[in-house]
Every structure is written in C-alpha cells, then in structure tokens.
C-alpha cells in the first residue's frame, strides 16, 4: 500500500486503485473484477477486466446491474440505488489496514433482491462497521434478472452466479494487498445472496476459496429449469422475439427490464409464480446444493444460518396481500397446501399449535417453513462441521411488519441509523441488539464461533429479540415435525393454482369439514 495525497493506493493484479480514508477506515469502491458483460459478452460467462495503467480512482460506487425499480407497494420499505454505466461487475473493499502483512479475516457479501434487484451500494450494507472491528469487508455487484439468470439454448446457464465466482477468485488473488487473509474468507449473503452463497459453497469450482459461510434467510437451493424457461418464454412472447440469448441481446435494455418486471409481478415467495433462479447446469452447479452439502461437499466449511420470525410479512403486508389472504380463507389455505405439496394435516397441525392465528399467518408460516426453515434444519442436521443457527425476532416499529424478511440487516451491519434501515425498522431500533448481533457476526467471521453453542440434537437457536439475545432449544421443532409425515393428496396440483381453480374445490371442501379454518 502507498499513499497518494493522503489517500490509500493499493495494487491489484489489473492495476492500482486509489481509495479514501473515511473515519479511520480505508474504502475502495467500484473496483472491476470482470469486464463489462455487454456487447459481445452479453449473456456470456465473465472474463477478466482489461488491465489499466496509472492509478484508477476508487472513490465512488461503480455501476449497478440493470434492474427494474421496486413497485409502489414495496418502495416505502426497500431502497435500491441505481448507478448508471456498463461496468457493473465491480466490488468494494473496506479495510482497517491496507497492508499486505495484516492478514485480517475477510467477509465477502452477496446482496439480496430475489436475483432481480439490489446492489452493493445500498447504504445499509456499509462495510465500515466490520472494518472498524478488524474485518476486511468486500461487497459485490453481479448480473441480475434475465441478464444473470435467464436460461437460453444458445448461452451458458447461471452467468450471475459465475460473476460471483469470479469475484471470489479476485478476492483470493487480490485481498492480501488490502490487508486480508485469503485463507480466512467468509462468504455470506441474505435472501438471494444466501441462496447464492449456498450454491457457491457447494460448487466444486469454489473449493478452497471459502473458509466459512453465512446464510441469512435463504437456503441452498436451485430452481426447476422448466420454471426458468417459462419465465423466459413469457418475456419472449411479450417482446415478440425468439427465446434465445441472441434475440434478447438485440432488445433495448430498458424495454427488457419493463417486460421482466411485468412478467415477474405475478409471482411472490408465498404465492409462487414465474421467477428466475439458479439452476443445475452440470458445470458450476452439478447437483442440488443442499444435497451436495449434506453429502459431504465443502468439507471444513463452518456455517452460520438463520431466519427472521415473520419472514412472510415483507411479502404480504405491502400491497395488502395479508388482508386478502385472510379474506380468502379456505382458498388461501388450499393454495398454500398446493404450493408446499402437503396434505391437510399440516394446516390442521398449525391451527392446533396456533389457535388464535389468522389464515394469513398460518399460510405465511407454512410457506416460510417449507421454503426456508426445513432446508436450513436439514443443512445443519446433515453436516459434521460446526453450524450455528439463529432467529431474529425483534418486531419492527412499522405497523404490521413484525420481524419481517430483511429487517435484521440493519442490526447485522450496525447500520440502523441509515434512512434505508429505518424504512423497515421504523424509529428507535435498540442499539444494544445491534451490538449483540453485529458482534456475533464479527466473531464468527474472525474465529468461527459467534458466541453460542453449535447445532446438535438439541437444536439450540440463538434468539435475537426483545429483552436481549437468549438460547431456545428447538423453537420450531413442533411445526417442522408436522411435515415429516405430510403427503400430497392426489387431487392437489404440484404448484399453487389460481384461487378460482376448480382443482382446489375438493381441497377446500375437506378443509371446511376438518375445522382448520377460523372466522377472521
């Protein structure tokens, strides 16, 4: 490391970069880890950036990947900055000591956003707090939506995931110059970032690049290839072009985003529907990541995993879906059964465990357990390496949001003073809870133990909630046990049909007879 008029300068394999000293931390923003993924490289795997002469300024965030804005319903809760430009395969580094001999632990962060939105420039992801506490923090931009996860006959699958792998390789090659230790890299993310983390940790091509992993509110999973193809075909029909990478590359980028948003608005984590996702490709993702990880992939990699108590409220409160599901009653429960591929004994069991819960809460917790908590339990149960599990249970001060999806981010990053964090948490989030949660993440990244007992047959879960952190043993075991013998009745479809579908009528009749429903 050298200094340039008081600013830190670090040499990477592709050229030198000049950062900034900010509050005692050296910050380098917008460093390219791969070339621009447009022009002849559209829909193709990433390639290294072109080396540069002189010193490249790294004082500002680099361009964000093309993405549609959040809808009016979600905009009051979620921010998503846009930085224009084509060089969107870039990353940022916060370090307390940009010197090759420092050998500090490294935390590489993959943002969430359903693989269609989000970026590393979101203020709540400010890495200063991790650097302040002795960690070199790296956040990554990667391709999103159809650009990163479209499935075409004339292009390789998973280019967005390949971007993330390229960023990991850049870290392995370059982070020593920023004071980091390439042998002490923790890869982590929230939501889609956690799903990506699970896929990369399981990938043979990432072996040796990751020492530890953090999966916040996202399990190791892949999306059915036919489901992604249907998403691409729907877009192709709207665009009136063939469903090929060549044809999509010729479409105006803004129009492509508008059509993607229009097609994607029909889906949600609770209701299902069309979506982009990571797919098994026989190459980077040779098999289902959860199966691979519970079958011995990623030996020696320690895990920190968890969820928020009321994940589903971010998906259902904006736009009024929570109230609509309560009004739908039996139809909503039947749709949830189809979405989760379970029989009527599961909602009956949830009703017995939570007799005062409304239909929306039953549906939301069922789908959250099916999509998130069950696979994370399987992951922790199926590995011999240490795993640590948490639940974030502090309820937002925003009306009806509860401990919703993404609320924990302001606590993990100790960035609750940021306006973006307050959009979800409201005013007055407890600083002592942020100190506890952020401190646990720093300890895990630094030495592999967040400060509570590792997962075992007793299922210890660290609860971060009102009254301070505590340990609960098996807090979700009764609900998750309902799925052990759950079957799919023959008349139920494998994916959730529309509320008016005649396929649901026999299921609804059975639900009404069984007493699952209560008056809302």
Annotate 356-409 with DSSP letters as a single string.
T--HHHHHHHHHHIIIIIHHHHHHHHT-SS-EEEEEE-PPPSSTT--S-TTTTH
Active site residue 354: no
pLDDT at 157: 97
How wide is the angle at C-alpha 10 spanned by C-alphas 66 and 81, nearest 5°?
25
Buried b (16+ CB within 10 A) or exposed e, 17-43: bbbbeeeebbbbbbbbbbbbbbeeebb
The model's confidence at residue 1, banded by pLDDT at 50, 70 and 90, is: low
The model's confidence at residue 489, banded by pLDDT at 50, 70 and 90, is: very low
From 191, 396, 415, 446, the catalytic residue: 191
| Mean local confidence (pLDDT), 249-275 | 85
pLDDT digits (tens, 9 = 90+) for 273-286: 778 999 999 999 99
DSSP bridge partners of 91: 31, 140
**Beta pairing, strands 104-110 & 136-140:** parallel
Q: Are residues 287 and 377 in the same domain?
A: no
Q: Are residues 87 and 204 in the same domain?
A: yes
pLDDT at 2: 67
Q: Are residues 376 and 295 in the same domain?
A: no
* DSSP designation for 88: -
The three-state DSSP-derived secondary structure of 160-229 is: HHHHHHHHHHHHHHHHHHHCEEEEEEEEEEECHHHHHHHHHHHCHHHCCCCCEEEEECCCCCCCCHHHHH
Tokens of 208: 């040796």
Where does a domain end: 299, 330, 346? Answer: 299
From 405, 408, 415, 446, the catalytic residue: 405
- CA dist., res. 169 & res. 182, Å (int): 10
Instruction: Check if the beta carbon of residue 2 is closer than 8 Å to that of residue 40.
Output: no
Q: What CATH number is associated with residue 286? A: 3.40.50.1820
Tokens of 192: 């889609």
Q: What SS3 class is residue 16?
A: strand
Evaluate if residue 294 carries a pLDDT over 70: yes
* Distant-in-sequence contacts of 349-358, Cβ < 8 A, 24+ apart: 349/479, 349/482, 350/479, 350/482, 351/515, 351/516, 351/518, 353/478, 353/479, 355/518, 358/326, 358/518, 358/520
pLDDT digits (tens, 9 = 90+) for 383-395: 999 999 999 999 9
- Tell me if 323 is assigned to some domain: yes
* DSSP designation for 416: T
Instruction: Check if the beta carbon of residue 390 is closer than 8 Å to that of residue 451.
Output: no
Rg (CA), the chain: 23
Instruction: Check if the beta carbon of residue 335 is closer than 8 Å to that of residue 504.
Output: yes
- Tell me if 204 is assigned to some domain: yes
Q: Are residues 294 and 393 in the same domain?
A: no
- CA dist., res. 322 & res. 137, Å (int): 37
Q: Are residues 361 and 283 in the same domain?
A: no
Instruction: Check if the beta carbon of residue 243 is closer than 8 Å to that of residue 233.
Output: yes
- Tell me if 23 is assigned to some domain: yes
Q: Are residues 288 and 329 in the same domain?
A: no
Instruction: Check if the beta carbon of residue 218 is closer than 8 Å to that of residue 194.
Output: yes
Q: pTM, whole model, 2 decimals? A: 0.93
pLDDT at 401: 97
For 5, residues 6+ apart whose C-beta sits below 8 A from its C-beta are none
- Tell me if 444 is assigned to some domain: yes
How wide is the angle at C-alpha 252 spanned by C-alphas 249 and 253, nearest 5°?
80
- CA dist., res. 267 & res. 71, Å (int): 13
| Mean local confidence (pLDDT), 226-237 | 95
Q: What SS3 class is residue 453?
A: coil
Q: Are residues 75 and 43 in the same domain?
A: yes
From 147, 302, 311, 391, the catalytic residue: 311
pLDDT at 272: 72
Instruction: Check if the beta carbon of residue 242 is closer than 8 Å to that of residue 284.
Output: no
- Tell me if 137 is assigned to some domain: yes
Q: Are residues 295 and 323 in the same domain?
A: no
Domain count, the chain: 2
Where does a domain end: 299, 330, 364? Answer: 299
Mean pLDDT of the chain: 91
Q: E strand or H helix at 352, and its extent?
A: helix 345-353
Half-sphere exposure of 511 (CA within 13 A, CB side): 30
Evaluate if residue 373 carries a pLDDT over 60: yes
Q: Are residues 335 and 465 in the same domain?
A: yes
Tokens of 503: 């396929």
Active site residue 405: yes
Domain of residue 141 covers: 1-221+277-299
For 205, residues 6+ apart whose C-beta sits below 8 A from its C-beta are 165, 284
Instruction: Check if the beta carbon of residue 96 is closer than 8 Å to that of residue 127.
Output: no
Evaluate if residue 309 carries a pLDDT over 60: yes
Q: Are residues 209 and 358 in the same domain?
A: no
pLDDT at 330: 81
Listed residue (481, 301, 445, 285) closest to 373, CA to CA: 481
- Tell me if 472 is assigned to some domain: yes
The three-state DSSP-derived secondary structure of 252-284 is: CHHHHHHHHHHHHCCCECCCECCCCCCCCCCCC
Active site residue 479: no
Listed residue (143, 267, 286) closest to 205, CA to CA: 286
Q: Are residues 376 and 507 in the same domain?
A: yes
- Tell me if 267 is assigned to some domain: no
| Mean local confidence (pLDDT), 214-235 | 96
- Tell me if 243 is assigned to some domain: no
- For the chain, give percent helix, strand, coil, nearest 5: 35, 15, 45
Q: Are residues 164 and 293 in the same domain?
A: yes
How wide is the angle at C-alpha 514 spanned by C-alphas 511 and 517, nearest 5°?
60
């Amino acid at each position: 490391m050298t200094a340039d008029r008081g600013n830190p300068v670090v040499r990477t394999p592709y050229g030198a970069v000049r950062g900034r000293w900010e509050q005692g931390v050296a910050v380098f923003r917008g460093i390219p880890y791969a070339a621009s993924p447009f022009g002849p490289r559209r829909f193709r795997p990433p390639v290294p950036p072109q080396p540069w002469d002189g010193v490249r300024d790294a004082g500002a965030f680099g361009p964000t990947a093309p993405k549609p804005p959040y809808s009016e319903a979600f905009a009051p809760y979620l921010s998503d900055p846009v930085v224009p430009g084509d060089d969107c395969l870039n990353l940022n580094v916060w370090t307390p000591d940009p010197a090759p001999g420092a050998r500090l632990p490294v935390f590489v962060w993959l943002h969430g956003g359903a693989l269609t939105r989000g970026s590393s420039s979101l203020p709540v992801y400010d890495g200063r707090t991790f650097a302040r506490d002795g960690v070199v923090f790296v956040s990554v931009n990667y391709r999103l939506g159809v650009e990163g996860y479209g499935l075409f006959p004339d292009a390789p699958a998973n280019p967005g995931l390949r971007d993330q792998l390229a960023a990991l390789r850049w870290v392995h090659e370059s982070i020593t110059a920023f004071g980091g230790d390439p042998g002490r890299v923790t890869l982590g993310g929230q939501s889609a970032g956690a799903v990506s983390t699970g896929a990369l940790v399981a990938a043979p091509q990432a072996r040796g690049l990751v020492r530890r992993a953090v999966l916040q509110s996202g399990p190791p999973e892949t999306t059915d290839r036919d489901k992604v193809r249907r998403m691409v075909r729907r877009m192709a029909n709207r665009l009136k072009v063939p469903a090929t990478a060549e044809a999509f590359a010729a479409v105006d980028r803004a129009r492509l985003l508008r059509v993607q948003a229009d097609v994607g608005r029909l889906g949600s984590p609770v209701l299902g529907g069309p979506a982009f996702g990571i797919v098994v490709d026989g190459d980077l993702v040779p098999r289902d990541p959860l199966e691979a990880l519970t079958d011995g992939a990623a030996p020696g990699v320690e895990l920190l995993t968890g969820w928020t108590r009321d994940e589903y409220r971010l998906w259902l409160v904006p736009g009024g879906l929570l109230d609509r599901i309560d009004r739908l009653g039996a139809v909503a429960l039947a749709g949830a059964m189809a979405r989760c591929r379970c029989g009527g004994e599961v909602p009956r069991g949830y009703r017995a465990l939570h007799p005062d819960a409304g239909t929306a809460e039953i549906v939301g917790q069922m789908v959250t357990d099916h999509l998130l908590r069950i696979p994370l339990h399987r992951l922790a149960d199926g590995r011999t390496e240490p795993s640590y599990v948490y639940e974030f249970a502090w309820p937002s001060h925003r009306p009806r949001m509860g401990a919703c999806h993404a609320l924990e981010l302001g606590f993990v990053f100790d960035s609750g003073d940021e306006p973006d964090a307050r959009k979800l948490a409201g005013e007055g989030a407890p600083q002592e809870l942020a100190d506890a949660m952020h401190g646990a993440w720093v300890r895990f990244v630094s030495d592999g133990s967040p400060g509570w007992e590792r997962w075992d047959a007793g299922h210890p879960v660290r609860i971060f909630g009102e009254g301070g952190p505590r340990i609960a043993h098996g807090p979700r075991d009764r609900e998750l046990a309902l799925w052990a013998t759950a079957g799919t009745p023959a008349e139920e479809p494998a994916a959730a049909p529309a509320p008016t579908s005649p396929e649901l009528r026999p299921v609804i009749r059975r639900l009404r007879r069984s007493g699952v429903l209560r008056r809302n």
